[in-house]
Amino acid sequence: MQFPDPLVRARFIRREKRFLVHVRLSDGSETIAHTNNTGRMTGCLWPDAPVWLSPARNPARKLRWTLELVELPPGDGALVGVNTALANVVVGEALAAGRIPSLAEYRSTASEVRYGQRNSRVDFLLTDGPDPELHTWLEVKNVSLVEAGLGRFPDAPSERGRKHLRELMDVVAAGQRAALVFCVQRDDARGVGPADSIDPDYGHLLREAASVGVELHGLQATVTTQGIWPGPLLPVRL
């Protein structure tokens, strides 16, 4: 996935409510950018942190900028993708390229398909595989928090994340396949797993989901200021 327009570097000032971040542009002016990241972005944002913004393509949009990347402290130099919508794009590219071997047998992929008993939309529905009756319902979670080399999800208590796990468990109970891909949008993780200290209920439910047959995958993304692409697979540590 290549950014359609060059990103602009700025400095983070503060976050307002959930979807707004105040930043300072290189000319010293201050502006507000949109973020779709509902988590805390723990370990990513701090006062004066370097950030990268994409310009809005729609001239009628109220906010001109979208928060895309955060630079980690000097000496580290890593970039973290914090636009959660791009995790689906990266995973979609990985699926199309057969980068997740156990999910490479399907020839048809649909996105945002309604399913379950909780008014959910699954990120991907994989069909047209070796068994035409067996589909895979696939959820994607963006990971931006890394602690001691391990990607952690979620970075804030996530009722929505727990709801999706229950939907996937129901899929398995109904005789279909269900899978979850943790997309780690940074290059300093050597594995990925639940953030038990942040949302212990999610960690408990994730382990339960794995025990009943929900398939768990980790995918690392290669993050640059030009674009974000599928990287290597990561082990899931429970």
- Both 94 and 212 in one domain: the answer is yes
Instruction: Judge whether residue 184 has pLDDT over 80.
Output: yes
Same domain, 63 and 99: no
What is the pLDDT confidence band of residue 217, given thresholds at 50, 70 and 90? very high
178 and 192 both lie in a single domain: yes
Q: Are residues 119 and 181 in the same domain?
A: yes
Q: What is the pLDDT of residue 76?
A: 66
CA geometry: angle 65, 87, 223, nearest 5 deg: 75
CB 66 within 8 A of CB 83: yes
pLDDT at 75: 55
Mean of pLDDT values over 4-25: 95
Q: Does any domain span residue 106? A: yes
DSSP state for residue 227 in the 8-state scheme = B
pLDDT at 116 over 90: no
Residue 64 within a domain: yes
Q: Supply 37's token pair.
A: 């990241």
Q: CA nearest 223: which of 157, 156, 143?
A: 143
pLDDT in tens, 203-215: 999 999 999 999 9
Q: Say which residues have a Cβ less than 8 Å from residue 93's Cβ, sequence separation at least 6.
A: 1, 99, 229, 230
> What does pTM read for this prediction?
0.94
Residues 115 and 179 placed together within one structural domain of the fold:
yes
pLDDT tens column, 79-97 = 999 999 999 999 999 999 9
The distance from CA 46 to its chain's CA centroid, rounded to whole angstroms, is: 20
Per-residue pLDDT, 117: 87
Q: Are residues 99 and 77 in the same domain?
A: no
Do 200 and 181 lie in one domain? The reply is: yes
Q: Which domain holds residue 64?
A: 8-81
Query: Does one domain contain both 227 and 160?
Result: yes
CATH of the domain at 28: 2.40.50.580
164 and 224, same domain (yes or no): yes
Task: Determine, yes or no, domain membership for 144.
Answer: yes
SS (H, E, C) 66-126: EEEEEECCCCCCCEEECCCHHHHHHHHHHHHCCCCHHHCCCCEEEEEEEECCCCEEEEEEE
pLDDT digits (tens, 9 = 90+) for 26-83: 999 999 999 999 899 988 888 899 999 999 888 778 899 999 999 988 656 689 999 9
Do residue 26 and residue 116 come from a single domain?
no
- The 8-class DSSP code of residue 56 comes to P
Same structural domain, 69 and 100: no
What is the per-residue pLDDT for 121? 93
Give the whole-angstrom CA distance, residue 235 versus residue 238: 10
pLDDT at 5 over 90: yes
Q: Does one domain contain both 161 and 182?
A: yes
How many distinct structural domains can be found in the chain? 2
pLDDT digits 0-9 by tens, 133-173: 999 999 999 999 999 999 999 999 999 999 999 999 999 99
What's the average model confidence in pLDDT over 95-110? Answer: 94
